[in-house]
């Protein structure tokens, strides 16, 4: 009995590897950044859910603002990033880009990059996936004459009821540069720009959402705002319109890159490619009025006429070198705080 039992135990041991239960491979998780509110709603429906289904991956969306994401990225170091894909406004990105935090663009894994406008390529690592024009939003039930110039914001008719942003906001610093050019000698004559904004005495806010609320409540009737936010509010019944000042319109760009230390680089680049696909670009354009950077996208006429659409519109965009600006921004911020806080 003992010998038979021993033989059975030995036989079971030999057969065990072939009859072991197969454990399914753990599902990969891709960590990406994105905004909350309406952005995340459209992102989940148009991008995240289809991508998860197609690739069998879980996407973890980290909402917030670009400066927060960059701070976390820098704290983690290039080899241990908290994100696989980082998307946000360009101004905070030059420093991590110069320090080697991002992978070079991979056209083999993200072939839709070949279809973007040249102005959408940032360095050798990044690409703008959407643009918005920064201009003037105004209440059509209060402002009787459509603005045509940035100077219209200084019209005393709007004293106490006009708004813009602090220098730490991307729209705010872009507006400062435009003001510096108009009232000074060039875009970076910030002393002249700060003095002009001080004379204007606008309501100064930190976030786009605050300006949107002020416009909705009539606390301000004219303000610096990008076209996408204005038309989204308009679609929801707020009597607003948007104007492109004749002196030029800077852009609010949404720039994307894959982190150098990502453990899921192939999937990360496929997500970038999906963001640039005509389907996802069209969804963001029709739902949120963000302008596609993929030049092959064909939009409905009623959407196309409200946003950047075609080479002629792209040629008019004012783009700044944020890598150079990053070196001077602390001094400009100090001057701003001294005069406008």
pLDDT band at residue 18 using 50, 70 and 90 as cut-offs: very low
Predicted model pTM:
0.85
Q: Cite the DSSP H helix spans in 20-169.
A: 37-43, 49-55, 66-76, 94-98
Chain centroid to CA 76: how far?
Answer: 22
| Distance between CA atoms of residues 197 and 201, nearest Å | 6
Burial 35-63 (b: 16+ CB within 10 A, else e): beeebeebbeebbbeebeeebebebebee
Residue 246 pLDDT:
94
Confidence of residue 260 (pLDDT cuts 50, 70, 90): very high
Query: Per-residue pLDDT for 271 more than 80?
Result: yes
CA separation for the pair 196, 180 (Å, rounded): 8
How would residue 19 be classed by pLDDT, with cut points 50, 70 and 90? very low
Q: Residue 329 to residues 91, 176, 326: CA-CA distances in angstroms?
A: 10, 12, 5
User: Which tokens hold the place of 292?
Assistant: 């596609």
Q: What is the pLDDT of residues 176-194, one digit of tens each?
A: 999 999 999 999 999 999 9
Q: Across residues 8-20, what is the average pLDDT?
A: 48
- CA separation for the pair 197, 200 (Å, rounded): 5
Sketch out the chain's domains with CATH numbers. 29-131+252-318 (3.40.190.10), 133-251+322-340 (3.40.190.10)
Please state, in angstroms and rounded to a whole number, the distance separating the CA atoms of residues 192 and 116: 36
Give residue 92's pLDDT.
Answer: 93
Condensed to tens digits (0 to 9), the pLDDT of residues 113-157 reads 999 999 999 999 999 999 999 999 999 999 999 999 999 999 999
- Please say whether the beta carbons of 83 and 259 come within 8 A: yes
Is it the case that residue 24 has pLDDT exceeding 90?
A: no
Residues 6+ apart with CB under 8 A from 172: 164, 165, 166, 204, 224
Contacts of 30 by beta carbon, 8 Å cutoff, 6+ apart: 57, 58, 59, 60, 84, 85, 264, 267, 268, 271
Phi (first) and psi of residue 254, to 5 degrees: -105, 105
Bridge-based pairing of strands 317-318 and 249-258 is: parallel
pLDDT in tens, 87-96: 999 999 999 9
Instruction: Please determine, for residue 197, whether its predicted confidence score (pLDDT) is greater than 90.
Output: yes
Q: Residue 26 has what pLDDT?
A: 73
Condensed to tens digits (0 to 9), the pLDDT of residues 29-70 reads 999 999 998 899 999 999 999 999 999 999 999 999 898 999
DSSP state of 333: H
Q: Taking 80 as the threshold, does the pLDDT of residue 170 lie above it?
A: yes
Assess whether pLDDT exceeds 80 at residue 242. Answer: yes
Please answer whether residues 93 and 70 qualify as being in contact, where contact means their C-beta atoms are separated by less than 8 angstroms: yes
CA distance 261 to 148: 47
Check residue 6 and give its pLDDT.
Answer: 54
């Amino acid at each position: 009995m003992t010998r038979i039992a021993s033989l059975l135990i030995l036989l079971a041991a030999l057969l065990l590897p072939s009859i072991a239960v197969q454990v399914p491979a753990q599902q990969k998780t891709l960590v990406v950044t994105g905004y909350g509110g309406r952005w995340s709603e459209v992102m989940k429906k148009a991008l995240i859910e289809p991508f998860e289904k197609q690739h069998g991956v879980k996407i973890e969306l980290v909402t917030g603002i670009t400066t927060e994401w960059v701070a976390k990225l820098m704290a983690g170091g290039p080899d241990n990033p908290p994100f696989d894909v980082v998307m946000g406004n360009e101004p905070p990105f030059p420093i991590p880009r110069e320090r080697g935090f991002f992978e070079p663009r991979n056209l083999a894994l993200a072939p839709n990059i070949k279809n973007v406008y040249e102005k959408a390529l940032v360095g050798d690592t990044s690409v703008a996936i959407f643009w918005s024009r920064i201009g003037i939003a105004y209440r059509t039930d209060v402002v009787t004459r459509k603005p045509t110039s940035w100077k219209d914001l200084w019209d005393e008719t709007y004293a106490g009821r006009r708004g813009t942003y602090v220098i730490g906001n991307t729209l705010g610093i872009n507006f400062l540069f435009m003001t510096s050019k108009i009232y000074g000698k060039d875009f970076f004559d910030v002393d002249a720009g700060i003095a002009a904004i001080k004379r204007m005495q606008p309501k100064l806010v930190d976030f786009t959402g605050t300006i949107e609320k002020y416009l909705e409540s009539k606390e301000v009737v004219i303000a610096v705002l990008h076209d996408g936010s204005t038309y989204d509010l308009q679609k929801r019944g707020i009597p607003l319109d948007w104007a492109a000042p004749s002196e030029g319109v800077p852009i609010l760009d949404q720039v994307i890159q894959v982190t150098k230390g990502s453990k899921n680089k192939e999937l990360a680049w496929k997500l970038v490619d999906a963001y640039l696909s005509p389907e996802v670009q069209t969804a963001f354009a029709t739902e949120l009025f963000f302008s596609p950077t993929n030049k092959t996208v064909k939009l409905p006429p009623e959407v196309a006429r409200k946003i950047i659409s075609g080479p002629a519109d792209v040629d008019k965009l004012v783009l700044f070198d944020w890598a150079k600006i990053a070196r001077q921004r602390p001094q400009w911020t100090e001057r701003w705080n001294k005069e406008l806080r």
